[in-house]
Structures are given as C-alpha cells and as structure tokens.
Structure 1
C-alpha cells in the first residue's frame, strides 16, 4: 500500500495514540511518585534529603539530556531513539520496582529521566511526519492534552495503587504501558529515513550545556532547603549563569551546534516558545498548590484530589479541539491572547479563594483556566512546529522542551518561596512548644498533624487560612504572568500570512497526506 493511501487510513490516528501513550506515562510518572514518598520514607527509611533527590534526580537527568537527544534523533532517526527511550523508561520502571534502598530508587528515577528526555521532544518531532500540515494542529492538541493529563492524574493513580498494593506498584504500572507503547511504535510509526552522519558532534558544547543546566537545576533543588541566599544556591546559580553564557557563545560560533540558536530569529519560534513558557509557568503553579489545598484544607485523599483536578483537563480538551477551527479563521495573534486572558481570569478568580469556600468555586475557575490553557498553548506550539527546519526538527523540539522545563523549574522554585512567605505571614503558633511550632510552620500538613495531636482546632484553622493566603499569592502571580503573556502575544505574534524564514520548515515539507513508510 502506498504512503498516501496509508495516511488516509485510521492508521495515522493509531500512530498518534502510540505517541500520546508514551508521553502520558511520562506525565504520570512525573507526579505519581509524590504520593508514594511518605510510604517510601517509612518502608526504606529514607531521610528528607534522599526523598528530595528521588524527585530531583529525575528532574536533573531529564533537563540535562533533553538538548543533545534532539540532535541525536535528527542524525540517527527519531523513531529509533524514541523507541530506545521508551525501552529505557520501561526497564528503569522495573528497576524501581526491585529497589531495596533509597539510593536504588534515586538511581531508577534518574534513568527514568533519561528515558523521558528522549520521549518528549522526539514524539513531538514525529508529528509532522505522520500528519499533513492541515492536520498537525489537531495532532498537537491531542499530544498536549496527553502530556497535561498525566500531571493531575498521577496522584490519582498513585493513590489508588498505594491503597491496593505495595509502594513498588507506582513503578510497576509503567512497565506494561511502556511495552504497549513500544509495540505500537514499532508497528505504526514511520520508518526513519537515511540521514547524513558526517558532521562532527559538538562535545564541548554538550558538556557546557549539560553542566550549566545541572548547576541551574541543582541550585533550584536546594532552594526549599537552604533559601535563595544559601551559599550552595548562590554558587550553583552563579556557575549556571557563567556556563550557560559560555554555551550560548559556543553554539553561535560552532559550525554544527547542538541547538541552532538562529531559530530565535524567527518570530514564530521565539514568541511561540515564550508564550508556551508563560502558559506552562501558570499551569505548573496551579498544579503545585492545588493538590495541597484539596488535601490539607478541603480534606480529600490522593484519589479524590486527582478526580477534582480533572476540570482543568476537561477545559483543556474542549478548547484544544476548538482552537483547530478558531486559528484558521482569526489567527494565532487573536486566539492566543484570548486564551491567555481566559487563563488569567480563571486563576485570578482562584486567587479570591477563602478558606471556607467549597470545591464548587474551585471547579469553576479550574474549568476556565483549562479553556484558556488549550486556546493558548496549542496555537503557540503549532507556530513553533511551523518554524522548525525540515531536516532538524528534533533539535528544535528539544530546545522548546528544554526552555519550558527550565522555566517550570525556576517558576516552581519562585512560586514555592512565595507560597512559604504567605503561609508564614499568617499562621499563628504562639504558645506552642518549640518543636510543635517548628513542625506547624514547616507546612500545612505538619500543622494539621500537630493540631490533631494536641486537639488544637484553632491551630488547624489558622494553618488553613495561612495556606489559602499563600496559595492566593501564587495564583495572583500566575494571573499576572498570563496577562503579561497576553499583551506580548497581541503585540508580537506574527499574523496569519507571516513567514520569517525562507528555508523549508517541518510544516512546509510535510507531504499532503503525511509520510507513512512501514
């Protein structure tokens, strides 16, 4: 059967299902582990530092590996490296299941990060090879929904698994899904074409970029423990600044860079990437504070919390579908600012939350936020995809994903500090023993535990009001960021007919009906 005939069949949607399945397990794994941390601490006797690195090790390897993996995919085949990433992810999940010490869990999570670093950008790079230019935005919408769905559903899945099985089940559930994604990818994804491999690999640029990102992520991991003025934080962030400047200078001068920084000269790539960062910052801020609010203030368990975050995903899926018809009619320069305004309206409504409010108000503003999320991020991502060179899409998607990932890391560090500031400004611990007061001021969950032990209803009420105050500050910051993004999008996003480059792009090079080659 010819390639055009194959691409007219439902097979391309099955291929999309294979890609979304792989990114879904990455999104799930990024948050499911948080639910299991208390159990791991008890079962494996992990201290707070080790628990921190169970999450931090994953984040570190994910961020560092994402840049070079795109270039490797462009050289040696997107399908080949994607399937290798899925395989690595599945094997690391099995390794996590068998771990018997905190160090082994940290190692398994670090390898999971390497697998995820291949899955995220390379699955996106394959979309224009599977779908025509007209259908690519719809595919991006589905892909985006899958990546977003994993974040709130992770605690739901983790809570259910821990209620019925042992702690290793949060790793084990990845393995059969990875096998299914691997089998579907082998059968459905288009075959890699022959690519030239003569260009020298920029080893020094890889080292500079990797060390710079390592220092940046490591410094942000230390912030919750040491504060922004801690010596380790200052040294790490200063080293990151120096190394990343050296990396940029190296990439600008190298004949075959890891990432082509000239992409930022294209308005579609530059502003599409920045808008995606703004949207990601706001949504990550929501997903950072909302589960704590639903659990500690409203009293829901992990499973119930995951269910109650789903209005965000419902809004996203509705607006992602709507954006497919809205953008051709009105253009991204109109639709993206409207999406960001809807997102800002939603989170600013959330910023008016009172400790006595019920879940109904939360469901309302979450739905509105999800609508804005989809209207903004899908057209922005489509703009980025339309700017990528046809022969190097992996490098471009890796750059997009890396910038978003680092923005999210720094954003959560800053928003976490803002949440802590708001919480500490309102909680009252006068009259408590020193140890109890320290635990109450450390977190709202700690305050609830102390209040339960001491039968102190006033402390619990104070902690809940203090947390809601901190959460409202975080949501207000997210709203301001979204409003800023809306203004920038209205001013700088290109119009419907704008073309900033003359070289062939992924979207322009995509065949009329896709590129299936079995």
Structure 2
C-alpha cells in the first residue's frame, strides 16, 4: 500500500519554516482534537444532573437525554467523510478553523440552554463543528511531517484520542462538583479561543493542488447513507430491539444507500473516494481493525461505567479516575508503537495488541462486586496498552496508503470507521446487556407495585431507584439487581472479547508482516529515510 520510492522522492518537500515548527503544530492539533473527543463522552456523567428539575437541571426525560447524546454522534458521524473531502478541496486550515469556531459557538449556546430541545439542537451544532475538526487534524499532521516521522506523530495523535476518552468523565465529575451543569460545555469556550489563535499563528494551510471535478452525488449518498445507518444503530440500541420496523428500515436503507455510493464511486470518472484502495487486503484490514477495536472498546466503556457507579457505588468522578491507567498506557505506548512495528512488523504488533484488548475485555467476565481496585487498574492499563499497539499502526497504514494531497479523504475514512464501529458497539452490546439483565431481574420484582414493574426492569439504575423508594424492604431487590447486572456484564464482556478476537484474526491474516532485510518500509528495496534525506537538505 505504500507509494513506490520513486514517487516518494518526487513529492515536494515540506517548507523549512513549516518543518521547524511541526511539533508545535502537533500540540495545537492535539489541543483541538482533545476537546472534540472529550466532549463526546463528557455529557454521560451529567445526565442525572440535567434530568433534575430546574434550577438544578432541565428536567429532561430519558428519551431527551439520549438524544442530547446521540444528536452529537449522528451529525458527527454523518459529516466526517464530507468534511475530509472539503478539507482536501478548499484547504485543511480553513476547514479546521471553521469547525473549531462552530464547535465553540455550539458549546456556549448548549451551556445556556433553557430546555431539553435547545440542548439537543446545540449538541447537533457541536457535532457539526466536530466533524470538520477531527479529520482535518490528521490531514494537517500528514502535511507537516515527513514520511519517516509520521508514525511517531500519528502515535502521539492516537494517544491524545485515548487520553480524551479517559479524562472526559473526570473533567465532567470535577466541574459538576463545583459548578452548574452548563459548565461542562462552557469550559470549551476559552479552550476554543486559545486554539483558534494558535491555529492562525502556527498551522499552515494545505490542500489537493489538483482536486478535479466535484462529485456532488457521491457526497450526498455518503451523508444520507451514514446518517441512516448510524440512526438505525442508535435507535436499535435505545429500544434494545434491532428487529423494530423503524430500526430495520433505517439501517437497511443506510446500507443500501452506501452500497449505491460504492457502485457510483466505482463507475465515476471523478470519484469522491477511490474505492480501489479497499481491494488491497492490508488497507481493508486496517480500517476493519479500527471499527472492530472501537466496537469492543466503546461497548465495554459503556457497561463498565454502570459496573463502577451502580454496583460498586462509586461517584462519577471516582469512576472516571479509574480510567486513568487506560489514558496513561495510551500516552506511554501509542507514540512508541512504531518501534515495535519497525522491529516485528505491523502484523505481529497489531495481533499482539488486539489479543491484549481481548484479554482485558474477557477479564470482565470474572469480576464481581468485590474485585480489588488494583485489578481494575491493571485491566484498564492492559486495555490501553493493547489499544496503543493497534490504533497507531493501522492509522499509519490507512494514511500512508493515500498520497499526501488526499490526506483529508484518508483521515475521513479512518475516523468514519472508528465512529460507526463505536456507535455499533454501544448499541449492540448495550442491547445485549439490557436484554440479559431484564430476563434475570423479572423474577425478583414481586415486591414492586404492578404498575412500576416494567419500568423497574429496564436497567439497573431504574431497579435501584425503585428499591430506594421501598426503604428497608428494597434491600433484597438491590442484591438481586447487582447479581443480575453482573450476570449480564459477564455475557456482554464475553461478546466484546469475541469481537476483539475477530479483529485479531483480521489483522493476523491481512496486515503486512515485517519487510525483508534491506527493504525500506514500503518494500521498495530502498530505505525511505535515505530517499527523504537526499532531497530535504536538513
């Protein structure tokens, strides 16, 4: 999938002024990426507060809370590919500035929301802005680093994603302990101001010098297909019923539209996405690995939050702090994953990483209500280590497969598969968790008033809420709820581990191994570093 050495040598070198400030540019890109990814999870810790009546919260219903979360995800996932294409065409810096400005405006308006409907609307605006930020950060990175430094820079970029996922609940917990619920959004505004100033001063613009004709039909098909598919996934998870007519119609409709997108792109003389890249097993395996690892990870993040807060009784802040080992492992190993790839090859590195993820997920099937804290910390560290040794190599594989002028398209593909995989993981594994829990708890709801039994069996939070109202008589129900949840978690953890094992098989079979001695990374028989050094004059 790498470009021939001759083609690499012909690519214009990065200007010296840009090359000198490339690490400062990376810090700015990480800063921008951090708040976007962080905000994708930070709302989860505030849902109870927002559900409270005014003035504490907005009095949002369960459905309104779900859409406050999902409005962001739906718009974000639906526009990622289009945003990447626009960056290639009109300039990545322009797209990045637009996205971060819109995200900041949406954050300020969300903080001031006076109703759940307003919050849902401004969350969608935030998702719109985030869709333009995330692919642009990776595309800019590919255009300010020479090829030999890209794996290290991508490792740092990937590590910042893991850190953001982990510190989102911590940040939200700290803010909610001292301020009102809107602070989780308002905190973004000063960060956005700093990021905008830094971007204007440091980040260079870049775009495809020969973008060719536009492909409006392909762009429209990608948006409609992704929105329908992600909506079906989200709705199926909400209902815990993927056979629901609305869910089936949306999901299958999305898949059909995306199939039409592929058919159109293969026959177009000016495709938005060159589908031929997916014919390469290593490229297809890399994007599949991205989707599968996020399917497994986001699913386990979903049920582990309930395990720590509902079963163990920890606060949102305490539960968030438990994810610090995962963030630490990402920070330590993601920038260094390239060293393992250089020594053992992408196939061995990613296979080992996926196995670590699978082991970490499977360990949840052995947990109970008294599992020592140090075991959880070790588990999250193992998961973070595995993730670091998967995400960096597969992202490098995807990004270096495409020429530099198409970096926006490559980043869009990478992030779209990541987002769809994560949404599918939460929906499918959340549905499994809910179904198993309901089936086990139903036999323990005899003491609950008949009119409240259905609601009490929907989730462990609902059951514990009813048990609390029953007073001392609710103690047996609390024990039953914990047991039922642990059983459901064990089943879901086994499902998550199985998905990670499928990912292990995919990367083991299709990712490239270590190049033979004497060959460069591209397998050209010529060291890529020497090719770059010959023309760089640095």
Query: Does the alignment reach a TM-score above 0.5?
Result: yes
Deviates more, 1:44-53 or 1:283-292: 44-53
Residue pair 1:141, 1:320 contacting (<8 A) in 2 also: yes
Question: Using the alignment, how far apart are the partners of 1:215 and 1:7 within structure 2?
Answer: 41
Q: Partner residue of 1:493?
A: 511
Q: Does 1:73 align with 2:83?
A: no
Deviation string 1:74-95 (CA, Å, 9 cap, x unpaired) is 1111111111111111111111
Question: Using the alignment, how far apart are the partners of 1:356 and 1:337 within structure 2?
Answer: 32
Tell me how far 1:435 sits from its aligned partner: 3.7
Given candidates 466, 471, 481, the residue that maps to 1:463 is 481
Q: Partner residue of 1:395?
A: 409
Question: Using the alignment, how far apart are the partners of 1:45 and 1:7 within structure 2?
Answer: 50
Residue pair 1:349, 1:365 contacting (<8 A) in 2 also: yes
Q: Does 1:208 align with 2:221?
A: yes
Residue pair 2:349, 2:389 contacting (<8 A) in 1 also: yes
Residue pair 2:108, 2:185 contacting (<8 A) in 1 also: yes
In the TM superposition, 1:126-137 aligns within 5 A as 126-137=140-151
Q: Does 1:430 align with 2:430?
A: no
Question: Using the alignment, how far apart are the partners of 1:70 and 1:379 within structure 2?
Answer: 21
Tell me how far 1:372 sits from its aligned partner: 1.0
CA distance 1:334–1:3, shift in 2 (3 Å) = closer
Question: Using the alignment, how far apart are the partners of 1:238 and 1:83 within structure 2?
Answer: 35
Q: Partner residue of 1:33?
A: 43
CA distance 1:472–1:178, shift in 2 (3 Å) = same
Tell me how far 1:303 sits from its aligned partner: 1.0
SS in structure 1 opposite 2:368? Answer: coil
Gaps of 5+ in 2: 1-12
Residue pair 1:140, 1:382 contacting (<8 A) in 2 also: yes
CA RMSD across the alignment = 2.6
Tell me how far 1:37 sits from its aligned partner: 2.3
Tell me how far 1:460 sits from its aligned partner: 0.9
Q: Partner residue of 1:149?
A: 163
Question: Using the alignment, how far apart are the partners of 1:512 and 1:471 within structure 2?
Answer: 53
In the TM superposition, 1:349-360 aligns within 5 A as 349-360=363-374
Residue pair 1:87, 1:178 contacting (<8 A) in 2 also: yes
Q: Partner residue of 2:8?
A: none
Q: Does 1:334 align with 2:348?
A: yes
Question: Using the alignment, how far apart are the partners of 2:238 and 2:503 within structure 1?
Answer: 31
Deviates more, 1:476-485 or 1:186-195: 186-195
Q: Partner residue of 2:34?
A: 24
Q: Partner residue of 1:250?
A: 264
Q: Does 1:262 align with 2:284?
A: no
Q: Partner residue of 1:378?
A: 392
Tell me how far 1:355 sits from its aligned partner: 2.6
Tell me how far 1:324 sits from its aligned partner: 2.5
Question: Using the alignment, how far apart are the partners of 1:323 and 1:271 within structure 2?
Answer: 18
Question: Using the alignment, how far apart are the partners of 1:75 and 1:346 within structure 2?
Answer: 42
Tell me how far 1:194 sits from its aligned partner: 7.4
- Runs of at least 4 residues off by over 3 Å: 2-9, 496-503, 507-515
Residue pair 1:426, 1:466 contacting (<8 A) in 2 also: yes
Deviation string 1:12-34 (CA, Å, 9 cap, x unpaired) is 22211111111110111101112
Residue pair 2:437, 2:484 contacting (<8 A) in 1 also: yes
TM-score after normalising by structure 2 = 0.89
Residue pair 1:4, 1:514 contacting (<8 A) in 2 also: no
Deviation string 1:230-267 (CA, Å, 9 cap, x unpaired) is 22112212221221221111111122222221221233
CA distance 1:468–1:123, shift in 2 (3 Å) = same
Aligned residues: 509
Given candidates 431, 440, 444, the residue that maps to 2:460 is 444
Q: Partner residue of 1:273?
A: 287
Q: Does 1:404 align with 2:404?
A: no
Residue pair 1:216, 1:236 contacting (<8 A) in 2 also: yes
Q: Partner residue of 2:7?
A: none
Residue pair 1:309, 1:366 contacting (<8 A) in 2 also: yes
Deviation string 1:392-439 (CA, Å, 9 cap, x unpaired) is 111121112112211222222110111112212332223321244333
Residue pair 1:152, 1:287 contacting (<8 A) in 2 also: no
CA distance 1:187–1:267, shift in 2 (3 Å) = farther
Deviation string 1:132-176 (CA, Å, 9 cap, x unpaired) is 222211111111111122223212211221221112111101111
Deviates more, 1:112-121 or 1:486-495: 486-495
Question: Using the alignment, how far apart are the partners of 1:225 and 1:316 within structure 2?
Answer: 30
CA distance 1:194–1:127, shift in 2 (3 Å) = closer
Question: Using the alignment, how far apart are the partners of 1:91 and 1:18 within structure 2?
Answer: 19
Tell me how far 1:356 sits from its aligned partner: 3.0
Residue pair 2:142, 2:404 contacting (<8 A) in 1 also: no
Question: Using the alignment, how far apart are the partners of 2:535 and 2:182 within structure 1?
Answer: 41
Residue pair 1:80, 1:192 contacting (<8 A) in 2 also: no
Deviation string 1:91-129 (CA, Å, 9 cap, x unpaired) is 111111222222221111111111111111111111122
Given candidates 187, 193, 196, the residue that maps to 1:173 is 187
Tell me how far 1:301 sits from its aligned partner: 0.8
